[in-house]
Amino acid sequence: MEINVRLEEEKDYLRVEEITRAAFGYPDRIKRGQIGCPYEHWMVHELRHRDGIMALSLVAELEDGTIVGHIICSNAVVKKENQSLPVLNFGPLSVLPEYQRIGVGGALIHTMIGRAKQLDYGAILFFGRPEYYPQFGFKEAKVYEIADAEGYNYPAFMAMELKEGYLKEVCGGRYFESNIYDDERNRETVRAFDRKFTNG
């Protein structure tokens, strides 16, 4: 199956939100969120207005132009004492359930990494599935001696240098992403946003 990855356009916005909602609308995710809907479709919507990087908002489409997946990056930082180093965060990565496990997510990730290098970004840090992302070159962030905002490390917190040695100066630092990713902070806003997808 041929998969084309291109920049997201304004005409794609609603469809991308629908795809993201479908991708994360499985029962375990809904249960964890405890609000009756996913958070991720709101995150995509909000990232277009703040903290997101539209040059790294990409859709995957089939030969007939049908969009089946999406990825977006956002601005984040690693802080150490009075240093603040800009890095990329990415996510959500969304693929329609019926098109998962056939290479759509991989195509989006590979293209995102390549474009991020072309745009001269130095590193990517994010939270994701540790059994999936190492195949693309991601390592546990503790390899670079970087912790999350609370000072913790765990397999789901991963990193990749796009420029060799880029993270060296912030060894011992902590990672801070946009507060868009704060489920507790945005709970009611997400619930209200989701009503347009459920007609209620």
User: CA-to-CA distance for 112 and 71, rounded, in angstroms?
Assistant: 8
Q: Report the chain's terminal Cα–Cα distance, integer Å.
A: 37
- Read off the tokens for 154: 């765990």
Of 87, 106, 182, whose CA–CA distance to 144 is shortest?
87
φ, ψ dihedrals at 93, nearest 5°: -105, 120
- Whether the pLDDT of residue 1 is over 90: the answer is no
Q: Which residues are CB-contacts of 68 (< 8 A; sequence separation ≥ 6)?
A: 3, 19, 60, 61, 62, 95, 96, 99, 104
User: CA-to-CA distance for 172 and 71, rounded, in angstroms?
Assistant: 29
Instruction: Please name each of the domains of the chain with its CATH number.
Output: 4-198 (3.40.630.30)
* pLDDT tens per residue, range 41-88: 999 999 999 999 999 999 999 999 999 999 999 999 999 999 999 999
Residue type, 157: F
* pLDDT tens per residue, range 150-180: 999 999 999 999 999 999 999 999 999 999 9
CA angle centred on 29, ends 75 and 71, rounded to 5°: 35
pTM, whole model, 2 decimals? Answer: 0.95
